[in-house]
């Protein structure tokens, strides 16, 4: 017999209570007094600050150690993140690391296999009290330990900041409705969408070994966390939207903090590895469809796809190795203070010429792959 579900009453009341309050109070306030500028600005500022603290702090910094941050940044992320009311950074990171390690299995704290709403928020309401696991590194950080002990109090203080502006402007109720209640609900559900919608809707360009999806629609409302297929493949990368045209406001903010020296040591997967993973998935999908074609058509097509893939992989690897070697050489010359020397200019010109050759080879290999892929797709259109 299935075990009866036990509920965590505090979490149930908090999650459903804040949502019910927002659903009643927001339309009432809008109808009664409209939306004032300061209410809208305070709501947006708090939503962005707390959401980014979850994305850049709880998630990318504490759960994945995707970069290093100085004390003031860690302190700020811990204080703002507490106002999300999603537990302490330590507990959040523990659950999240288990999610990555056991994604889609019974050990995953929020597997999508149990349904959208379970992964979205009912898992938070269940009385499971998962123990802390795999966070010994974080437990060494005194700031993390301090936040773990007092996260509710810290969160309450930070979440109440809009009330101060409400008092100063003589509009306490409006700032309570938009700056506190609505903000808490929006913060909750934008985080929850990553566990639910980003495991259900979207594309899987890098891997189909798990249910995580890239969803560009989710990215702007989740501070860049919508590219979840990329994230599950390279969870230690400080970016989620790794391509230049993908929305990732957390990455942009971290870049700015990096320029002023407050954060650093960003971890990034090389672009060539991303391209190789994407190619692997494209080929895999074409091969799966080629099973439907007759062997006479499918076999030569498969051979052509495989041959052009090998060529493309080799060209990508060659360019990547060249760039790595160049990076090392440049660092070495810089360390020796030779970057401005005449000989350096010659080395640079020589490297540029050889990189151009590699780029041309890569271009030709891409064209060959594209032609093979298009031919396979055209053939499959008649199968
Ligand atoms: Zn996930
Ligand atoms: Zn993650």
Residue 2: is its pLDDT beyond 60?
Answer: no
- What is the whole-number distance in angstroms between the Cα of residue 248 and the centre of ligand 2? 14
| pLDDT value for 140 | 97
Q: How far is CA 364 from CA 39, 198, 282, 309, 352, in A?
A: 56, 36, 18, 12, 18
Residue 341: is its pLDDT beyond 80?
Answer: no
What pLDDT digit, counting tens, does each position of 109-130 carry? 999 999 999 999 999 999 887 8
Ligand whose nearest atom lies closest to the CA of 55: 2
Q: In which band, very low, low, confident or very high, does the pLDDT at 3 lie, cut at 50, 70 and 90?
A: low
Candidate from 61-70, 191-200, 282-291 with smallest mean pLDDT: 282-291
| Phi and psi at residue 223, to the nearest 5° | 60, 30
Ligand whose nearest atom lies closest to the CA of 228: 1
- What is the whole-number distance in angstroms between the Cα of residue 96 and the centre of ligand 1? 8
Q: What average pLDDT is seen over the chain?
A: 93
Residue 375: is its pLDDT beyond 60?
Answer: yes
- What is the whole-number distance in angstroms between the Cα of residue 197 and the centre of ligand 1? 10
Q: What is the pTM of this model?
A: 0.89
Ligand whose nearest atom lies closest to the CA of 93: 2
Can you tell me the distance from the alpha carbon of 241 to that of 218, in angstroms, rounded to the nearest whole number? Answer: 11
CB atoms closer than 10 angstroms to residue 353:
9
Of 243, 264, 285, at which residue does a domain stop?
A: 264
DSSP 136-160: HHHHT-HHHHHHHHHHHHHHHHHHT
What pLDDT digit, counting tens, does each position of 231-278 carry? 999 999 999 999 999 999 999 999 999 999 999 999 999 988 999 899
- What is the whole-number distance in angstroms between the Cα of residue 64 and the centre of ligand 2? 7
Q: How many residues does the chain have?
A: 383
| Phi and psi at residue 264, to the nearest 5° | -175, -165
Can you tell me the distance from the alpha carbon of 328 to that of 348, in angstroms, rounded to the nearest whole number? Answer: 13
CB atoms closer than 10 angstroms to residue 341:
12
% of the chain at pLDDT higher than 70:
98
Nearest alpha-carbon partner for 239 in 73, 92, 59: 59
Residue 18: is its pLDDT beyond 80?
Answer: yes
215: in domain: yes
Residue located via tokens 């060529």: 311
Mean pLDDT on 341-367: 84
Ligand whose nearest atom lies closest to the CA of 102: 1
Number of domains the chain is built from: 2
- What is the whole-number distance in angstroms between the Cα of residue 300 and the centre of ligand 2? 41
| pLDDT value for 293 | 79
- What is the whole-number distance in angstroms between the Cα of residue 237 and the centre of ligand 2? 10
Whether 142 and 223 share a structural domain = yes
Residue 50: is its pLDDT beyond 50?
Answer: yes
Q: Interior CA angle at 109 toward 104 and 112, to 5°?
A: 40
Return contacts of 365-372, CB within 8 angstroms, 24+ apart: 365/308, 365/311, 365/312, 365/314, 365/315, 365/316, 366/312, 368/308, 368/311, 368/312, 369/279, 369/308, 369/309, 369/311, 369/312, 371/308, 372/301, 372/304, 372/305, 372/307, 372/308
Nearest alpha-carbon partner for 56 in 260, 266, 212: 266
- What is the whole-number distance in angstroms between the Cα of residue 169 and the centre of ligand 1? 41
Whether 300 and 248 share a structural domain = no
- What is the whole-number distance in angstroms between the Cα of residue 75 and the centre of ligand 1? 26
Ligand whose nearest atom lies closest to the CA of 64: 2
Q: How far is CA 271 from CA 61, 95, 366, in A?
A: 22, 29, 15
Whether 58 and 201 share a structural domain = yes
**90-125 as b/e: b if 16+ CB within 10 A:** bbbbbbbbbbbeebbeeebbbbbeeeeebbbbbbbb
Ligand whose nearest atom lies closest to the CA of 214: 1
- What is the whole-number distance in angstroms between the Cα of residue 83 and the centre of ligand 2? 20
Of 234, 264, 294, at which residue does a domain stop?
A: 264
- What is the whole-number distance in angstroms between the Cα of residue 108 and the centre of ligand 1? 10
- What is the whole-number distance in angstroms between the Cα of residue 70 and the centre of ligand 1? 27
Candidate from 22-26, 344-348, 363-367 with smallest mean pLDDT: 344-348
% of the chain at pLDDT higher than 90:
69
Extract the tokens encoding 175. Answer: 């700032």
| pLDDT value for 317 | 86
- What is the whole-number distance in angstroms between the Cα of residue 111 and the centre of ligand 1? 9
228 CB-near residues (< 8 Å, 6+ apart): 194, 198, 199, 202, 212, 213, 214, 215, 240
260: in domain: yes
| pLDDT value for 113 | 96
Whether 139 and 180 share a structural domain = yes
Whether 230 and 277 share a structural domain = no
Ligand whose nearest atom lies closest to the CA of 112: 1
- What is the whole-number distance in angstroms between the Cα of residue 69 and the centre of ligand 1? 24
- Beta strand residue intervals within the chain, DSSP E: 68-69, 263-264
Whether 122 and 252 share a structural domain = yes
| pLDDT value for 25 | 97
Whether 91 and 185 share a structural domain = yes
- What is the whole-number distance in angstroms between the Cα of residue 97 and the centre of ligand 2? 7
- What is the whole-number distance in angstroms between the Cα of residue 150 and the centre of ligand 1? 27
3 state DSSP class of 109: coil
- What is the whole-number distance in angstroms between the Cα of residue 58 and the centre of ligand 2? 10
Ligand whose nearest atom lies closest to the CA of 65: 2
Q: Determine contact, residues 292/380, Cβ cutoff 8 Å.
A: yes
Whether 246 and 362 share a structural domain = no
Of 247, 264, 281, at which residue does a domain stop?
A: 264
Whether 256 and 277 share a structural domain = no
Extract the tokens encoding 349. Answer: 């010109």
Whether 279 and 257 share a structural domain = no
At what angle are helices 9-33 and 183-195 packed, to 10 degrees?
Answer: 130
Q: In which band, very low, low, confident or very high, does the pLDDT at 1 lie, cut at 50, 70 and 90?
A: very low
Q: In which band, very low, low, confident or very high, does the pLDDT at 313 lie, cut at 50, 70 and 90?
A: confident
Whether 78 and 222 share a structural domain = yes
- What is the whole-number distance in angstroms between the Cα of residue 199 and the centre of ligand 1? 6
Q: Determine contact, residues 139/145, Cβ cutoff 8 Å.
A: yes
- What is the whole-number distance in angstroms between the Cα of residue 194 and the centre of ligand 2? 10
Q: In which band, very low, low, confident or very high, does the pLDDT at 331 lie, cut at 50, 70 and 90?
A: confident
Ligand whose nearest atom lies closest to the CA of 234: 2
CA torsion angle for 196, 200, 202, 207 (degrees, to 10)?
110
Whether 238 and 316 share a structural domain = no
- What is the whole-number distance in angstroms between the Cα of residue 186 and the centre of ligand 1? 19
| pLDDT value for 383 | 62
Query: Which residues form the domain of 293?
Result: 271-381
- What is the whole-number distance in angstroms between the Cα of residue 279 and the centre of ligand 2? 24
């Amino acid at each position: 017999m299935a075990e009866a579900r036990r509920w965590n009453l505090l979490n149930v009341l908090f999650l459903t209570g804040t949502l019910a309050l927002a659903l009643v109070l927001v339309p009432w306030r809008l109808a009664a007094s409209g939306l004032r500028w300061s209410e809208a600005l305070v709501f947006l500022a708090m939503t962005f600050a707390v959401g980014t603290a979850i994305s850049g702090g709880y998630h990318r910094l504490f759960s994945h150690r995707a970069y290093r941050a100085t004390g003031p940044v860690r302190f700020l992320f811990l204080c703002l993140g507490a106002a999300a009311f999603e537990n302490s950074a330590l507990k959040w990171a523990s659950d999240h690391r288990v999610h990555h390690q056991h994604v889609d299995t019974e050990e995953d704290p929020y597997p999508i296999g149990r349904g959208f709403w379970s992964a979205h928020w009912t898992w938070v309401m269940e009385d499971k009290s998962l123990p802390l696991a795999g966070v010994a590194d974080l437990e060494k950080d005194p700031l993390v330990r301090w936040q773990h002990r007092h996260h509710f109090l810290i969160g309450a203080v930070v979440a109440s900041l809009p009330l101060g502006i409400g008092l100063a402007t003589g509009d306490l109720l409006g700032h309570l409705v938009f700056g506190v209640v609505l903000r808490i609900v929006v913060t909750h559900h934008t985080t929850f969408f990553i566990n639910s919608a980003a495991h259900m809707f979207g594309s899987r360009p890098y891997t189909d070994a798990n249910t995580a999806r890239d969803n560009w629609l989710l990215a702007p409302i989740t501070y860049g966390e919508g590219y979840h297929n990329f994230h599950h493949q390279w969870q230690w990368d400080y970016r989620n939207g790794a391509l230049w045209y993908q929305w990732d406001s957390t990455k942009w903010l971290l870049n700015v903090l990096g320029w002023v020296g407050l954060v650093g040591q960003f971890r990034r997967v090389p672009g060539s590895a991303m391209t190789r993973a994407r190619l692997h998935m494209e080929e895999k999908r074409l091969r799966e469809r080629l099973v439907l074609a007759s062997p006479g058509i499918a076999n030569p097509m498969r051979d052509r796809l495989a041959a052009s893939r090998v060529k493309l992989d080799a060209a990508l690897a060659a360019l990547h190795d060249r760039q790595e070697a160049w990076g090392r050489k440049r660092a070495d010359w810089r360390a020796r203070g030779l970057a401005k020397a005449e000989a350096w200019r010659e080395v640079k010109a020589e490297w540029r010429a050889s990189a151009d050759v590699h780029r041309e080879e890569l271009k030709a290999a891409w064209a060959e792959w594209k032609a093979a892929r298009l031919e396979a797709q055209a053939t499959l259109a008649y199968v």
